Structure 1
Amino acid sequence: MTASVPLWGKLADLFSKKLLVQLALAVFVCASAVAGLSQSPGMLIACRAVQGIGMGGLTSLAQIILAAMVPPRERGRYSGYLGATFATAMVAGPLIGGVITDTSWLGWRWIFYIGVPFAAIALVVLQRTLRLPLTRREVKVDWAGAFFITAGVCLLLLWVTFAGDKYDWLSWQTYTMVGGTAVLLGAFVLTETRASQPIIPLRLFRNRTIALAALASLFVGVAMYVGIIYFSQYFQLARGESPTMSGVMTIPMIVGLAGASTVSGRIITRTGRWKGWLLAGGLFVTAGLGLLGTIRHDTTYWHIAIFMALLGLGIGMMMQNLVLATQNQVETADLGAASSTVNFFRSLGGTLGTSALGAILAHRITHYLTDGMTGLDPRYRAALASSDSSDSIPDVATLPGPLRRVVESSYGHGIADIFLYAAPFALVAFLFCLFIKESPLRTTKGAAPATTLQPTAPPAPTPTGTEAEPSGIPVRGSVRGAESAPVPHAAVTLVSRTGRQLARTLARTDGSYALQAPGPGSYVLITSADGFEPQASTIAIHDDDPVSYDILLAGTSGLTGVVRAVRTGTPVKDAVVVVTDVRGDLPATRTTGEQGEFAFTELTPGPVTLAVNADGHRPRALAVEIAGTGVTRVEVDLDTGARLQGVVRAPNGPLADARVTLVDAAGNVVGTATTGTDGAYAFTDLAVGEYTVIATGYPPAATALTVKGRGVDDHDIELGHSDA
């Protein structure tokens, strides 16, 4: 699951999200059905691996599809519902699984069969109800990146799982597996820097919010999965509860998670503020794990329930909102990759954390068992060794009373230690969240600009300096730009769905605005300001209550420069200058003037590619970072292309009408020429490098040569009849 999450997320940016989520669901449920038929542990493990591939898709695609349908400002509420659903599944899964396991006429195989009918219903519902816009774009899957990240992550997880059990932490196996992981992940990073459609676009990590959210998710995953996995062991092995009751007793954590997820989501939708919930969640998770570190096998249950509820509250505040904060930072084209990146780090943290802490748990329990057995009758040791067990986990119910107390105490104390060891990870997640910069949630699904209607002249201000507003339903909010800075004097226009202007105002110096809607209904709010991209948003008014609606504008900046020839330093006139953004879109094109100058205005800040082409010169492309404000200036130097010329000769002299083809080192045909009566040919505007010259007319001849630099390279070709 962990390794496949990034691949599913990237595929969601390239293919139909609806088709992908149906495919992931089909993979998961088919693997589940086959897992129920398993005849050996190896077959069961293989089926679980295939289940993990499907689960990786379901984990990431649920949030990606939600993001594609709902703008970030409204997404908080729906993310809360998604988190509550996840929490319900967490409690329903162990409960149903426990009941099935405890029911003799069903057995463990039905744990896998039970989901098949629900998956079939889900497939039908998805097919009939899910309607998503399908964006056509060039598809090129980064299979090399997918291989390296899958191999690297799997090798890392295998090392953490087996270290301390199958071999020592410091051993040749550890050195080999850790070294192999480093090589594979290094190859992945190198691949991603060169791929046109990378699995995880590394440029996303230039955004501080995305980078910090991913790191916070890594450590949140440790805390979340520790609670999911070790609570069931605690209640069954330390308190002697049945599988069913162990699920029931985790309800306080699930209620906390579901409640916090739902409530925080609704409040975030209403206020647009989300960072405070992340910080509060980090504190709750840290406190919950720290308090759980004090429990023992005989701790009063209501104390444990409070500690579990604190842990659930914290996870509910952080889990979905870290994804929400990330989705708010990216364009629609990167939505899948960004969402799956956060989910990937959370899954990776959970898997690494539970594996490493599991090894520590085995060591701690052995330590406590050894101490507890001191002074007991030796026959109890034999009873422990002969009890029904599976992978050294004892059947507590069959143990004699004194020995049972020792085993329960050992597991209770050992699992509490694991909770205590996990608390610092939650604290680190809190620290990462502390440095995330909060930005208002967007009110549109994507960050693409919209074409606006031209607003009419602004109304005259009243003597008190406020805008005169007709009666109606107040619509208020703030207009902000980069770094949440207010945008004063932005024009905000309210338009009906038929295009009729209903109200208009100018934002105040603090970026706030206020206007009146005539009544409940659906409207278009158009915002424009100098130096920013215009934006159009849809707002829905359901009753007569005032509406709060914040607007985030993307700023525009300028780019100027000059194009010169390298050899002479003279300006290059009529050179074509093209700007492309990170998605490959072509926002602007210019032609240089008499002095080689060019200028672009109203460009979106961020990385762009500047390409320049001129007759008699080699084309050149530069990576340019457009500043958030002001004008960015660049100077472009163009090389004069090299010239390759020569004469094709036959035994009786120059050969006319011979065809000469020039091929570069990559196998691309650079150009072709046909010789005249003097046998001459020529190629111009060549770059330095390796080439192959192929001449035909007589039996063809191919010659490898190197074009060394500027100027003229001569290369004559001798053709003759074959001796054969």
Structure 2
Amino acid sequence: MPDKHIRVVLPGLLMAMLLAMLDNVIVGTAMPRIVGDLGGVDHLSWVVTAYVLGATVSTPIWGKLGDLYGRKTVFLTSIVLFLLGSVLCGFAQDMPQLIGFRAFQGLGSGGLMVGAMAVLGDLVPPRERGRYQGQFAAVMAVAMVGGPLVGGFITDHADWRWAFFVNLPLGGAALVLLALRLDLPKRRTEHRIDWFGAALLSAGVTALVLITTWGGNQYAWGSAQILGLAALAVVSLAVFVVVERRHPEPILPLGIFRNRNFSLVSGVGFLVGFAMFGAITFLPLYQQIVQGASATNSGLLLLPMMGGLLVTSLLVGRMITKTGKYRIYPVIGGLVMILAMVLLSRLDADTSKLESGIYMTVLGLGMGFLMQTSMLIAQNSVELKDLGVASSTATFARSIGGAFGVAAFGAIFNHRLHDLLADRVGPQAADRLSGGGGGGATIGPATLGALPAQVRTAVVDSIAGATSSVFLWAVAATVLVPLLAVFIREVALRGGPETAQERAESTLVAQEG
């Protein structure tokens, strides 16, 4: 597509992505007000879980539907569903209603990120796509920093329902712009929707998300509930593989995994999600408890990480567009992320905000080498007819990795926190403070000041030590990223000049797929 057309529709794509990334952050900040109005504090986690579940389950399905029915129609449908879910959440009268509407909103959210990346893939050939990496990285930075600020403002100065209604002007603008100006090639194909495969995938993914959400928190890892969910996940996904091999229009074509680059970059995405999203989940708690930041300012303290991400994404995007080479960047990104995790494992109660900011900058630099580059490689590894599936699968791999990372590192954090508190204040007090006795944790920014000075010091030191342990364990996952990335094969990006050697490599990779 001409650059002029891309510049017109790009703001709509960026606004749709921003919607998907902002929502959970804003709602999370407003949750105390929501619970105060609707009650149901025992169902608090489900407000987040229902949204994540809806988004994760629907992500692969949105990608396939876009391949079958056309990217524009399916993408606009996901925006409409998301906005309708936002309105319903804003008018919820009790906690069960809010949870149900959040699941519905999540179904729409699953198509926003995937749709934006797939539409960009239709508009821009891979060789030129690097030029737009920085703009998508900037959206991530705005969401990470702006989300807590918007959520904090709504919590302090407006009704909590505006945490959902705030989506309407942004989403409405994106919807109108894309409906009027987005012009994609129309394809006519015969469709046979793999509904059985979609149901099996949804059941398996739902079980996996619930395991990572409930395991070690609501239910013990060895409980009948968790083991039952594990059995359901294994059986559903095993049958799913059998069904997908036989269906003429599989919801997830397994043949794309025969492509070496696609399989490797999906593994890289899973590991990045596992290490990055799993580990940085605990940074706001460290910043608020140990460094004394407010909930709103803890978002601003992530600015160095987002700055590193933005700078690297811009540079890498320009270099890929200029040279057509990309293989080295995931390797470098993995090595930089290892260094970042090692540095962050040095966090303690005496670490200054400047020092932790430098560590987070290094992490952002590593992320910038990996985030958009891995999507670019995934899209370049498949035929154009499977572009939506490739985009959704890459996103799905990262999301599942993040879910498993949050669960695994959450267990590590809680176990280490309890042990450190037990050493400092005794086992009984540690149970009360960390929730190890089943009564729920009492550690929080609001309650910290009410603790005796000696106990408060013990809590601060223990939070710092537990956070350090999480990043130390994250090194083990991160070290696998460059080991996988080094086996990625350099294949000419579509849309650029190809040498005879690159054409031969492209043919060989296509034969593998």
TM-score (structure 1 length as normaliser): 0.59
Partner Cα separation in structure 1 for residue 309 and residue 71 of structure 2:
28
2:380 alignment partner in structure 1: 328
TM-aligned CA deviation for residue 30 of structure 1: 2.3
The alpha-carbon distance between structure 1 residues 99 and 483, as it changes in their structure 2 partners (threshold 3 A), is farther
TM-aligned CA deviation for residue 160 of structure 1: 2.3
Q: Secondary structure at the match of 2:57?
A: coil
Counterpart of 1:53 in structure 2: which amino acid? L
Alignment of 1:675-714 (within 5 A): none
1:109 alignment partner in structure 2: 161
TM-aligned CA deviation for residue 41 of structure 1: 3.7
Superposed CA offset, 1:58-88 (max 9, x none): 1111110000001110011123322232222
Query: Are residue 273 (structure 1) and residue 325 (structure 2) matched?
Result: yes
Q: Secondary structure at the match of 1:85?
A: helix
2:63 alignment partner in structure 1: 9
1:44 alignment partner in structure 2: 98
The alpha-carbon distance between structure 1 residues 358 and 40, as it changes in their structure 2 partners (threshold 3 A), is farther
Counterpart of 2:72 in structure 1: which amino acid? K
Paired residues of 2:144 and 2:302 also in contact (CA < 8 A): no
TM-aligned CA deviation for residue 39 of structure 1: 4.0
The alpha-carbon distance between structure 1 residues 44 and 291, as it changes in their structure 2 partners (threshold 3 A), is farther
1:147 alignment partner in structure 2: 199
Paired residues of 1:373 and 1:381 also in contact (CA < 8 A): no
Query: Are residue 23 (structure 1) and residue 63 (structure 2) matched?
Result: no
Query: Are residue 480 (structure 1) and residue 501 (structure 2) matched?
Result: yes
Partner Cα separation in structure 2 for residue 312 and residue 29 of structure 1:
31
Counterpart of 1:20 in structure 2: which amino acid? V
Paired residues of 2:221 and 2:227 also in contact (CA < 8 A): no
TM-aligned CA deviation for residue 146 of structure 1: 1.0
Partner Cα separation in structure 1 for residue 137 and residue 361 of structure 2:
15
The alpha-carbon distance between structure 1 residues 426 and 39, as it changes in their structure 2 partners (threshold 3 A), is farther
Q: Secondary structure at the match of 2:219?
A: coil
Query: Are residue 313 (structure 1) and residue 365 (structure 2) matched?
Result: yes
Counterpart of 2:135 in structure 1: which amino acid? Y
Partner Cα separation in structure 1 for residue 498 and residue 262 of structure 2:
26
Superposed CA offset, 1:18-58 (max 9, x none): 12222212222222233234444433333332222222101
Query: Are residue 87 (structure 1) and residue 144 (structure 2) matched?
Result: no
Query: Are residue 427 (structure 1) and residue 479 (structure 2) matched?
Result: yes
Q: Of the candidates 268, 292, 303, which is equivalent to residue 216 of structure 1?
A: 268
Q: Which shifted more, 107-116 or 364-373? A: 107-116
Q: Of the candidates 113, 116, 120, which is equivalent to residue 59 of structure 1?
A: 113
Counterpart of 1:75 in structure 2: which amino acid? R
Counterpart of 1:184 in structure 2: which amino acid? S
Partner Cα separation in structure 2 for residue 383 and residue 155 of structure 1:
30
Partner Cα separation in structure 2 for residue 384 and residue 185 of structure 1:
36
Partner Cα separation in structure 1 for residue 227 and residue 434 of structure 2:
36
2:247 alignment partner in structure 1: 195
Alignment of 1:386-405 (within 5 A): 392-394=442-444, 395-405=447-457
1:530 alignment partner in structure 2: none
Alignment of 1:352-431 (within 5 A): 352-374=404-426, 392-394=442-444, 395-431=447-483
Paired residues of 1:219 and 1:426 also in contact (CA < 8 A): yes
Paired residues of 1:292 and 1:307 also in contact (CA < 8 A): yes
TM-aligned CA deviation for residue 292 of structure 1: 0.7
TM-aligned CA deviation for residue 97 of structure 1: 1.7
Q: Secondary structure at the match of 1:32?
A: helix
TM-aligned CA deviation for residue 299 of structure 1: 0.7
Paired residues of 2:279 and 2:406 also in contact (CA < 8 A): no
Counterpart of 1:370 in structure 2: which amino acid? A
1:229 alignment partner in structure 2: 281
1:669 alignment partner in structure 2: none
Identity of paired residues, percent?
Answer: 38
Paired residues of 1:383 and 1:399 also in contact (CA < 8 A): no
2:89 alignment partner in structure 1: 35
Partner Cα separation in structure 1 for residue 172 and residue 479 of structure 2:
41
Paired residues of 2:340 and 2:359 also in contact (CA < 8 A): yes
1:256 alignment partner in structure 2: 308
Alignment of 1:634-673 (within 5 A): none
Partner Cα separation in structure 1 for residue 263 and residue 237 of structure 2:
18
2:7 alignment partner in structure 1: none
TM-aligned CA deviation for residue 481 of structure 1: 4.1
TM-aligned CA deviation for residue 393 of structure 1: 4.1
The alpha-carbon distance between structure 1 residues 140 and 384, as it changes in their structure 2 partners (threshold 3 A), is closer
Paired residues of 1:4 and 1:53 also in contact (CA < 8 A): yes
1:293 alignment partner in structure 2: 345
Gaps of 5+ in 2: 1-54
The alpha-carbon distance between structure 1 residues 168 and 482, as it changes in their structure 2 partners (threshold 3 A), is same
Q: Secondary structure at the match of 2:396?
A: helix
Partner Cα separation in structure 2 for residue 351 and residue 269 of structure 1:
33
1:625 alignment partner in structure 2: none
Paired residues of 1:10 and 1:199 also in contact (CA < 8 A): yes
1:598 alignment partner in structure 2: none
1:182 alignment partner in structure 2: 234
Counterpart of 1:279 in structure 2: which amino acid? V
Paired residues of 1:88 and 1:258 also in contact (CA < 8 A): no
Partner Cα separation in structure 2 for residue 190 and residue 384 of structure 1:
44
Counterpart of 1:68 in structure 2: which amino acid? D
Counterpart of 2:452 in structure 1: which amino acid? P
TM-aligned CA deviation for residue 93 of structure 1: 1.3
Partner Cα separation in structure 2 for residue 383 and residue 265 of structure 1:
47
Superposed CA offset, 1:679-722 (max 9, x none): xxxxxxxxxxxxxxxxxxxxxxxxxxxxxxxxxxxxxxxxxxxx
Superposed CA offset, 1:518-541 (max 9, x none): xxxxxxxxxxxxxxxxxxxxxxxx
The alpha-carbon distance between structure 1 residues 361 and 36, as it changes in their structure 2 partners (threshold 3 A), is farther
2:295 alignment partner in structure 1: 243
Alignment of 1:121-136 (within 5 A): 121-136=173-188
2:50 alignment partner in structure 1: none
The alpha-carbon distance between structure 1 residues 42 and 228, as it changes in their structure 2 partners (threshold 3 A), is farther
Larger radius of gyration: 1
TM-aligned CA deviation for residue 123 of structure 1: 0.9
Q: RCO higher in 1 or 2 (8 Å CA, sep ≥ 6)?
A: 2
TM-aligned CA deviation for residue 238 of structure 1: 2.6
TM-aligned CA deviation for residue 298 of structure 1: 2.8
The alpha-carbon distance between structure 1 residues 238 and 26, as it changes in their structure 2 partners (threshold 3 A), is farther
The alpha-carbon distance between structure 1 residues 86 and 154, as it changes in their structure 2 partners (threshold 3 A), is same
Q: Secondary structure at the match of 2:499?
A: strand
* Larger strand share, 1 or 2: 1
Alignment of 1:499-648 (within 5 A): 554=507, 605=511
1:498 alignment partner in structure 2: none
The alpha-carbon distance between structure 1 residues 23 and 427, as it changes in their structure 2 partners (threshold 3 A), is same
Q: Secondary structure at the match of 1:361?
A: helix
TM-aligned CA deviation for residue 265 of structure 1: 0.8
Q: Secondary structure at the match of 1:438?
A: coil
Q: Of the candidates 345, 348, 351, which is equivalent to residue 400 of structure 2?
A: 348
Counterpart of 1:413 in structure 2: which amino acid? G
The alpha-carbon distance between structure 1 residues 49 and 420, as it changes in their structure 2 partners (threshold 3 A), is farther
TM-aligned CA deviation for residue 296 of structure 1: 1.4
Partner Cα separation in structure 1 for residue 189 and residue 498 of structure 2:
36
Cα RMSD between the aligned structures? 2.6
The alpha-carbon distance between structure 1 residues 328 and 260, as it changes in their structure 2 partners (threshold 3 A), is same
Q: Secondary structure at the match of 1:316?
A: helix
The alpha-carbon distance between structure 1 residues 410 and 37, as it changes in their structure 2 partners (threshold 3 A), is farther
The alpha-carbon distance between structure 1 residues 36 and 228, as it changes in their structure 2 partners (threshold 3 A), is farther
Gaps of 5+ in 1: 445-475, 485-551, 557-603, 608-724
TM-aligned CA deviation for residue 355 of structure 1: 2.1
TM-aligned CA deviation for residue 435 of structure 1: 1.1
The alpha-carbon distance between structure 1 residues 401 and 46, as it changes in their structure 2 partners (threshold 3 A), is farther
Paired residues of 1:240 and 1:396 also in contact (CA < 8 A): no
Partner Cα separation in structure 2 for residue 320 and residue 175 of structure 1:
36
Paired residues of 2:291 and 2:353 also in contact (CA < 8 A): no
TM-aligned CA deviation for residue 392 of structure 1: 4.0
TM-aligned CA deviation for residue 5 of structure 1: 1.1
Superposed CA offset, 1:550-609 (max 9, x none): xx7x589xxxxxxxxxxxxxxxxxxxxxxxxxxxxxxxxxxxxxxxxxxxxxxx9578xx
Partner Cα separation in structure 1 for residue 338 and residue 295 of structure 2:
27
